[in-house]
Structure 1
Amino acid sequence: MKTVTVALLIFVTGSSAQFKCPDRTGFFPDPVQCDLYYVCSKGEYEEKLCPDGLVFDARDPNHERCDIPANVDCDERTELQEPHPSPGCPRANGYYRHSDPLACDKFFNCVNGVPHELPCPPGLIYDDTASTCAWPDDSHRKDCKNAKRDKLDDGFTCPDEEILGPGGRKLPHPTFAHPEDCGKFYICRNGVMPQKGQCVKGLVYNEETFTCDDPKNVPGCEDYYEKAEKSKTKKA
């Protein structure tokens, strides 16, 4: 580690010695190190480093801006400062995959070496290549393609295949009939996050229309409420 540090210091010093301000005033990138840049004033420069984990955005010389690597095109500026890792944070700042390899739907936002756990929206996983949440099929991660799906307490899980509604249109939040109760159904948020649903009194779930409907329109559920009332009477 000491050898790396010394080599980095030599490189930075050499790069600084050769740097010339492209303009009298502005913020300009180092030609080889993406998190190193220079503040020029009256033709003189001051060398500065972005916080560890961030890199210099060189698109506008009038603005001093450091951002996450996913948002910046470093091009040939491939060198970086020595990292300052901490538990959960490969570098002091930025977005990183969760330390638990099974927690594909969570990630860390590291701020000054402190990891803050954040969740992805239902059905998405964290893609560390893009530093954002993405659908498993669109993600670059191979370890989460078959991430375990959530299961309700009665065993229901959302199916893998797409559900098409009227007109062959994909349903973003498909619903499914309860196997034993006409008045209940399941909702799959974003197609993957299961939740329980309940029709308002007087209606039952119609799996043909994916909505709650009049019992007379749902074969097998015509007498649902009459049977429920009789059951309550017997128990009383």
Structure 2
Amino acid sequence: MSKISIVNSCLVFVVLLTQAYTCPEKNGRFPVGSSCDRYLECIDGVGEEKLCPDGLRFNEKASLFTYPCQYPIDVNCGGRSQLQPANPSEDCPHQFGYFRMGNTPNECNQFLNCVDGRGYLFECPEGLAFSSETYHCDWPDVVPDCDAASYLGFKCPQDPKVEGLGFAEYRFYQKPSDCQRYFLCVNGNPRLYNCGEGNYFDSNLNTCTNETTTCT
């Protein structure tokens, strides 16, 4: 290779590096190419490329006073779909994130919060299911990958309405062999409720009471 070719190659390389770190504005944080977890941080016109921890995404709308690497549900990457390879630990599929435990539709109440590769196991309150779409515990019938009837162990009977055709939208049923709990069937899907200590479900009034004689 001639000296001229070597010089030209070096010049092109230097230009490419310079372009890669050119700051669109003097101060700010900006996406890098098609990556959803890399970003360019510019301070006084000097740019530094950074990579979010595994499992987090770069939120270009985050203010300068907010950490820009956030959970996927809080970030809209648009067409930037490229991500770093997963870096799983013994506990977690990614270093950061919330992950539902269990692989079947009736395993809905436990989830794992992963922080720096360490997993912390949590359980939703009784009757609720973990939603991977919102990272919240919600009614099982609104969690897409949870089968409410299988999870709660109760299938709503198709009781006809007293008047008219069709089926009742809301129905109450005492939990079998449990006077304290009851199911509210919403559009054919069960939701579990608890009357609380010292109270019992009255199937005649469809409400909780402290009278044990109403419970069978």
Match of 2:23 in 1: 21
Say whether 1:59 aligns with 2:57.
Answer: no
Does structure 2 retain, via aligned residues, the 8 Å contact 1:29–1:37? yes
Shift of 1:109: 0.3
- List per-residue Cα deviations over 1:87-127 (Å, max 9, x = no partner): 34111111112156463211100001111011123222223
Q: What is the alpha-carbon distance in structure 1 between the residues aligned to residue 174 and residue 148 of structure 2?
A: 24
Match of 2:32 in 1: 30
Q: What is the alpha-carbon distance in structure 1 between the residues aligned to residue 148 and residue 173 of structure 2?
A: 23
| SS of aligned partner of 2:152 | coil
| CA RMSD of superposed structures (Å) | 3.9
Gaps of 5+ in 1: 1-13, 151-157, 222-236
Does structure 2 retain, via aligned residues, the 8 Å contact 1:187–1:197? no
Q: What is the alpha-carbon distance in structure 2 between the residues aligned to residue 69 and residue 36 of structure 1?
A: 14
Q: What is the alpha-carbon distance in structure 1 between the residues aligned to residue 18 and residue 72 of structure 2?
A: 22
Equivalent residue in structure 2 for 1:71, among 50, 69, 74: 74
Shift of 1:192: 2.0
Q: What is the alpha-carbon distance in structure 2 between the residues aligned to residue 214 and residue 119 of structure 1?
A: 32
Q: What is the alpha-carbon distance in structure 1 between the residues aligned to residue 72 and residue 158 of structure 2?
A: 34
Q: What is the alpha-carbon distance in structure 1 between the residues aligned to residue 142 and residue 131 of structure 2?
A: 9
Match of 1:128 in 2: 132
Q: What is the alpha-carbon distance in structure 1 between the residues aligned to residue 180 and residue 54 of structure 2?
A: 46
Write out aligned runs for 1:153-168 (5 A). 160=156
Does structure 2 retain, via aligned residues, the 8 Å contact 1:27–1:39? yes
Does structure 1 retain, via aligned residues, the 8 Å contact 2:180–2:195? yes
How does the TM-score come out when normalised to structure 1? Answer: 0.61
Equivalent residue in structure 1 for 2:112, among 101, 108, 111: 108
Does structure 1 retain, via aligned residues, the 8 Å contact 2:21–2:49? no
Q: How many residues align?
A: 183
Write out aligned runs for 1:71-110 (5 A). 71-99=74-102, 101=104, 103-110=107-114
Does structure 2 retain, via aligned residues, the 8 Å contact 1:178–1:186? no
Change (3 A) 1:194 1:23: same
Shift of 1:195: 7.2
Q: What is the alpha-carbon distance in structure 2 between the residues aligned to residue 205 and residue 53 of structure 1?
A: 45
Q: What is the alpha-carbon distance in structure 2 between the residues aligned to residue 136 and residue 205 of structure 1?
A: 21
- List per-residue Cα deviations over 1:46-96 (Å, max 9, x = no partner): 111111111111114534421110111011110111211023411111111
Match of 1:207 in 2: 203
Q: What is the alpha-carbon distance in structure 2 between the residues aligned to residue 118 and residue 136 of structure 1?
A: 16
Q: What is the alpha-carbon distance in structure 1 between the residues aligned to residue 123 and residue 101 of structure 2?
A: 10
Q: What is the alpha-carbon distance in structure 1 between the residues aligned to residue 201 and residue 92 of structure 2?
A: 48
Read off the aligned partner of 2:174 and give its amino acid letter. Answer: F
